[in-house]
Amino acid sequence: MYAAYSGLHLCESHFCRSVDSRVRRRIRNDALLSANPTPEDPETWLIGLSGGKDSVVLTQILFETFEDDPRIELVALTIHEGIDGYRDASLEACLELTDDLGIDHEVVSYADEYGVEMDSVAEDDPLGMAPCAYCGVFRRDALSTYADEYGADKLLTGHNLDDEAQTAMMNLLSGDVGQIAKHFDASLGSFEDREIDDDPFVPRAKPLRDIPEKEVALYAHLRELPTHMAECPHASEAYRGEIQDHLHELEDEHPGTRHSIMSGYEELAKLAAEAHRGGGPGGECERCGAPTNNDVCRKCELVDVVGGELPGDD
Ligand code: SF4
Ligand code: ZN
């Protein structure tokens, strides 16, 4: 493959090694082991595994990196949103991968957790929002609930360079500096620079964030990893799609644009985080106990609106 941003031509084996080493370098640079886990006191890392190429490649590389390292325990978590013909097929890929690798795998469904499925939420759409607006709130809640339940120290997701550059541009264009600051402490910066003690959510990390999306897809293909490529039928983030198109054009004309956006954005986000810290959720939801600034958290509000129910409800 030829990477215009670096000028490198790589054969199959050098390409795969280059992806592996960039992910491992990111793990080092983001100081994921900065809490100094030991074999007697290991860390548990929960991997958000959807069955798409990104999370499958992440799981494979993490497994190969930490297979013989008793300081790290990996658990994969798949969220089943209740999307007919989409999640069942990708769940197959998750099962095949975790079975091949022999790592623990848990499945959590919106049906069990919230008494709803995304297909019916998307059809009814009682608030007239995009389906992803409900789904994102439920997913975030499910991931943090289960991260707590498994005593996870970190939550690792498969966001790639394109995803992160899109989020960076969306945050910059919206002018929301508070959001940029939150992005840094929640999931972007190195663990040595982030302030996570005040954050009630399990800290996240994105070890694939230096790898362009096309390279993640090529890696999955060359390594013959089980992946599910279809797109969710409710995908509706139109603005993100527009930004993605612009970034592709810019990258074609000016190779390296995504990398330079991210290096500048990360520096800015660090400054923003230093200036904006201390504004985390101050209270707990009176229904479910999740951290929130209101009486009832957004997830509980949405569960009511879509006619679902929480496990403890009568
Ligand atoms: Fe949920 Fe939207 Fe992702 Fe579909 S595309 S799984 S609705 S967040
Ligand atoms: Zn709640």
- Distance (angstroms) between ligand 1 centre and the Cα of 60 equals 23
- Alpha carbon distance 70, 72 (integer Å): 6
- Report the pLDDT value the prediction gives residue 74, as an integer from 0 to 100: 97
Q: Which residue has the tokens 């499945």?
A: 107
Instruction: Dump pLDDT digits (tens) for 128-139.
Output: 888 999 999 999
Which ligand 1 atom sits closest to the C-alpha of 131?
Answer: 7
Is the predicted pLDDT of residue 263 greater than 90, yes or no? yes
Question: What whole-number distance in Å separates Cα of residue 42 and Cα of residue 144?
Answer: 20
60-103: pLDDT as tens digits = 999 999 999 999 999 999 999 999 888 888 999 999 999 999 99
Query: What is the arithmetic mean of pLDDT over 132-156?
Result: 91
Cross-sheet strand order for the sheet of 104-109: 104-109, 72-80, 43-48, 154-156, 204-205
Exposure of 65 in the CB half-sphere (CA atoms within 13 A) = 24
81 Cβ inside 6 Å of ligand 1: yes
- Predicted confidence (pLDDT) per residue in 194-214, tens digit: 887 666 778 999 999 999 999
Single pTM value for the model: 0.93
The identity of residue 34, as a single letter, is: S
Q: How far is the CA of 13 from the centre of ligand 1 (A)?
A: 34
Does residue 278 register a pLDDT over 80? no
